[in-house]
Amino acid sequence: MRLWTLHPRFLDRQGLLAVWREGLLARAVLHGRTRGYRHHPQLERFRAHAEPSLAIDAYLAAVHEEACARGYLFDRGKFGPLRPVAGIVATAGQLEFEWRHLLRKLAVRDPALYERWRERRPTCHPLFLLEPGPVAPWERP
């Protein structure tokens, strides 16, 4: 499971489809609707949020928005109504770690997209608030 800190605009088709599917799985876990992935480290920052259900819905909303902008038909009914929600702090080290990880994937899966993004600086998913700091402790090196 990878719930990217990166803005979904940077993901290739495969990455966008995967984050949608994995975000829906994370939502099911946070709502107690599945027994698998309950202890997945990517969920720590959502569980630590004061309103985990609203946070995951906000996360999915941004992925949905990106998918719609690309002409994909992701089902809006898969997540709840949007309400104002506090952001989740993410570190610059985590963002950079994910950026390098994504670029390695794109170099293989989509070289044209890799060339487009490789000189850019990434931005966060709208749910996250970027602060200085290292890679998250729950991240697998």
The residue segments making up the domain with residue 52 are 8-131
3-state DSSP percent of the chain in helix, strand and coil, to 5: 50, 5, 40
- With respect to residue 136, please indicate whether it lies within any of the assigned structural domains: no
Quick one: angle between helices 52-69 and 13-30, nearest 10?
160
pTM for the structure as a whole: 0.94
- With respect to residue 110, please indicate whether it lies within any of the assigned structural domains: yes
In terms of DSSP H, where are the helices of 31-91?
44-47, 52-69
Look at the chain and report how many structural domains it folds into: 1
- With respect to residue 141, please indicate whether it lies within any of the assigned structural domains: no
- With respect to residue 30, please indicate whether it lies within any of the assigned structural domains: yes
DSSP code per residue over 79-117: S--------EEEEHHHHHHHHHHHHHHHHHH-HHHHHHH
Residue 37 predicted with pLDDT over 90: no
Q: In this predicted model, what pLDDT tens digit does every residue of 43-64 receive, in sequence order?
A: 999 999 999 999 999 999 999 9
- Residues contacting residue 108 through CB under 8 Å, at least 6 positions apart: none
